[in-house]
Chains A and B, each alone.
Chain A
Amino acid sequence: MRWLRKNLIVIIGLLVMAYILIPNIVVVVFSFNKPAGHYNYEWSQFSLDAWLDPCGAPGMCDALGLSLWIGIASATISTIMGTMAAFALGRYRFIGRSFTNLLVFFPMATPEVVMGASLLTLFISMGLESGQTTILIAHILFTVSFVITTVKARVASLDPALEQAAADLYATPAQTFWKVTFPLVAPGIGAGALLAFALSFDDYIVTNFNAGATTLTFPMFVWGASQRGTPVQINVIGTVMFLGAVAIVGIAQAIGARRRKVDA
């Protein structure tokens, strides 16, 4: 009984971890399935078919390529714009600063369907045809606020004494920025960029509003499949993404942990 009381939190924690991970495990297991019907929801028999022919589902790999491209492009642009804005907001006080903070916050508080809908109204009235450009514009819009918030927190936590020390040691402002400030803020920028990519790569709701009739991203492909029949290849991609994510996030965490150790 004492043991149970002492370790209750650990047991609950592990149960919640199971809640988080079981769907991912199902995705992995069902990538080895050979379903009897159109839907890959019930276990039938073990097969490597999907792994040996990952692009076997028509149109899937094109959609995946498009999503990767849009994810990288929008993450790059919103990271650059967001980092610049974060420095301004984290470093300076100016008239309209709290208004600017509010403007950054609002897109994060707006439900995706509202954002997708209002962008669509704008694009229609501008006469801009829906497609890759409109998706890219939309993705930069809903990722930039997250980048600003992430990087701003890092900028705000910087010790100003470090930059002053650099200046005392006759570093030019440019040298101070690139040799002192930037390396210290870099983890925040990296986290912001990763978050932006993940949000863009995963988005269905906003994208569906602004993609038009012929452009298909990976989440749109999965959505379509859920209505018509899910090819096993979807699970292969899901598995690769999960393992890739574990690897990337793991490496990022390990670097962060080592850095903290060195700091201490």
Chain B
Amino acid sequence: MALVVPVGRASRKRPARKRGTFTPLLLLAPAMLWLTIFFVIPTFSLASQSLQTGDIDNGFTLTWHFQTYADALSRYWPQFLRSLVFAGSATLITLLVGYPLAWFIAHRSGPFKTMLLVLVIAPFFTNFLIRTLAWITILTDNGPVTGFFRATGLINVLRWLGLVGNDTLLYSPFAVIAGLAYNFLPFMVLPLYTSLERMDMRLLDAAGDLYANGWQTFWKVIWPLSLPGVVSGTLLTFIPAAGDFINSKLLGNTQTTMIGQVIDAQFLRVLDYPMAAALSFILMATIIVMVGLYVRAAGTEELV
């Protein structure tokens, strides 16, 4: 059986062993069976569900009713657009604040490196709902954060941008985006840290010797080398943020509804399964297409 060829220099030198032939298939079997039964098959049944008509009492039948997709888009396009904009903004914020933090931990934190990494990872293990609820306290109306935004006039800037409705920070698009950025920040910092940490610092000296200024050094040396981290980080942030509805439900208002919230409600409360399935499919397709284009543009396949 020539199906399987061991990888690696050393293994190629080893005399060919019959034993190796079936090993990977056996090793893969449990995980792949699990993924097939509980991921691939449900995806197809979701596809079928989205093309059915009927109701919860009389059951659903497959009628290839593509109209559901058109209805889904025409009725819920604002929520789709909002999800993409919110998730995109949150991703951009995590990149902007996560990059300096990752650089700081990787190269400037000295003996505190391990401690800082621990403090970035630890929130992973603390329930994210509890931490999101803490934002209600932080952004409360008579709290210091709102006070600061009012005193500096920043709140007027936010209102001009349409990120807050009136004089308060809580229950606004601003709060939702800040919450999303906060929740997914570690997913951005860790891949960035990994790619910045293994960067050879002598490259910076070399750039300096060749008369590059600080900006040129960053843009022509550091940034290109950190691209794999940037790509993994943005994907790990954008994908869950686009489907999230916890932040928009806890920190937002009725005007900040995201698409995840609509899917959740259609499935569990309205019980319109075809509509919910169609919405899920549109969301999944949008994300996969965007991720595909993005990964191709960035020219890296590190994550896959």
Contact = CB atoms under 8 A, between A and B. Distances in A.
Interface of A: 9-10, 12-14, 16-17, 19-24, 26-27, 30, 41-42, 80-82, 84-85, 87-95, 100-115, 117-122, 125, 137-138, 140-141, 144-145, 148, 160-161, 163-164, 167, 173, 195, 198, 201-202, 204-205, 208-209, 218-219, 222-223, 226, 230, 234-235, 237-238, 241-242, 244-246, 248-250, 253-254, 257
Taking each of B120, B138, B235, B243, which has the highest tally of chain A beta carbons within 10 Å of its own beta carbon? B243
Contact of A234 (B4, B115, B130, B264): B130
A235 B9 CA distance: 53
Contact of B120 (A9, A20, A198): A20
Contacts of B244: 111-112, 205
A234 B8 CA distance: 51
A122 B134 contact: no
Contacts of B32: 85, 100, 103
Contact of B98 (A16, A26, A235): A16
A interface, by DSSP: helix, strand, loop or mixed? helix
- How large, as a class, is the contact surface on chain B? 35 or more
A27 B122 CA distance: 14
Interface string B17-38: 0011001110110111011101
Given A84-B31, A113-B245, A246-B118, A9 B7 contact: no
Contact of B138 (A23, A161, A195): A23
Interface of B: 3-11, 13-14, 19-20, 23-25, 27-28, 30-32, 34-36, 38-43, 45-46, 49, 97-98, 100-101, 103-105, 108-109, 114-138, 140, 182, 185-186, 235, 239-240, 242-246, 250, 260, 263-264, 267-268, 273, 276-277, 280-281, 283-284, 287-288, 291, 303-304
Contacts of B10: 160-161, 163-164
Contact of A9 (B4, B103, B118, B126): B103
